[in-house]
Structure 1
């Protein structure tokens, strides 16, 4: 049965969820601005510590090298940290700088990558949701919830880097369900990406909610028929779940 609430229709679940899994980047915070700031700060760090590399590669050049590493090393698709660090090692080597700087350069980048601006609705919604459901973070990225300050609401974190495969592989969803302590049909996965979050969760046997934030998704067209909820922010989802 369909009900119209808020911005779009949703299908009321046949069974209520017992647990939630949540994506991180672009669901709890906008990741693009954080990455851009981190890349700009990284280039300034290289200007000081590896000037030949900074001269040879501007920010766009470093990003292009990182993208090339991702294309040519598909076995690292689940490990964004390895891709970024190896791209820095290659940049340093090509410029004739000390390749041993790749590790501290990456650590400096990562410190800035964690300076995210959490959406205003996230903390109040997590407080409500965590009071009712076990929450497990499920991410392809390399953000650390403890560093960001949101870990208190999560029972566990399943990252592609630590697990060995990422979304849309069903195995990572099922691992998140295991850590949440609920079978897949009773777990609601919450995320912003229609392919990696919504469709992949449905294919793995979970329920799915699409968080279509206005700054990322101008409209809410295209959600799969099986999506249980389509919301603009997490507070709306908490309302729908009675949290």
Structure 2
């Protein structure tokens, strides 16, 4: 059961919790492709082949296991490898990645996200906790968060307990005094539970819970948080 009285801080996943991620990635990849057409046409042709790009990503993962938690570096170095294979200037990778990264920050929030952030931030310190490479300042949500911890910067990603504990340390509270909210069963809920946190599973698709270990609460939307923390009086 959720122990509301113990909660002193809230950590929040970003991708697919505050905004849908795949439309963002699709727009970013299209922006990258347009830039490559103008600046590295042979690489653009290579990027048009899903098979070739899958091979490049797999090769980059094998070549640079040290980057497995750094989505930005993996993307940039994959672009560099594609440029090299296409016999174009690999130094273009930085500029190409910046085109992708800028569009990756152009997110469209779920309708319930902004009201939920405004409600929560008035009551608790919030910490963004993500395996992705969204930048909360560039996304426009920095004012709501006391801290932001990403796998890219921390060097370890969810569900590793260490990144959850780092989020607790950022606001100087104990794990059982934190409610972690996220959509991913393994990364967010089981990761948070194993770190000793209270957890809220954001289940927008009405999926079935697949594990014996249960979240403290399940939410169909972030809009339910207000009722959770301020239940209507009888």
Band the TM-score falls in, shorter-chain normalisation: over 0.9
1:219 to 207, 223, 233: 207
After superposition, the Cα gap between the structure-2 partners of 1:225 and 1:237, relative to the gap in structure 1 and judged at 3 Å, is farther
Q: Residues 1-243 of structure 1: matches in 2 within 5 Å? A: 11-13=1-3, 15-58=5-48, 60=50, 61-62=52-53, 64-214=55-205, 218-222=206-210, 225-242=213-230
The offset of 1:241, in angstroms, is: 2.1
Query: What is the TM-score when the length of structure 1 is the normalising length?
Result: 0.89
Mind listing any 5+ residue stretches in structure 1 that lack a counterpart? 1-10
After superposition, the Cα gap between the structure-2 partners of 1:111 and 1:74, relative to the gap in structure 1 and judged at 3 Å, is same
CA distance in 2 between counterparts of 1:21 and 1:210 reads 12
CA contact (8 A) 1:43 1:59 kept: no
Query: What is the TM-score when the length of structure 2 is the normalising length?
Result: 0.92
Superimposed CA distance per residue, residues 189-225 of structure 1 (whole angstroms, 9 cap, x where no aligned partner):
11010000000110011111111123xxx42433654
The offset of 1:59, in angstroms, is: 5.9
Give the count of matched residue pairs: 230
CA distance in 1 between counterparts of 2:108 and 2:226 reads 21
CA distance in 2 between counterparts of 1:177 and 1:53 reads 43
CA contact (8 A) 2:46 2:53 kept: no
After superposition, the Cα gap between the structure-2 partners of 1:146 and 1:224, relative to the gap in structure 1 and judged at 3 Å, is farther
The alignment's C-alpha RMSD in Å is 1.8
After superposition, the Cα gap between the structure-2 partners of 1:229 and 1:36, relative to the gap in structure 1 and judged at 3 Å, is same
Superimposed CA distance per residue, residues 76-120 of structure 1 (whole angstroms, 9 cap, x where no aligned partner):
111001100110000000001000100000000011111111001
DSSP-derived class of the 2:15 partner? coil
Mind listing any 5+ residue stretches in structure 2 that lack a counterpart? none
Runs of 4+ with deviation above 4 angstroms: none
DSSP-derived class of the 1:132 partner? coil
CA distance in 1 between counterparts of 2:140 and 2:4 reads 35
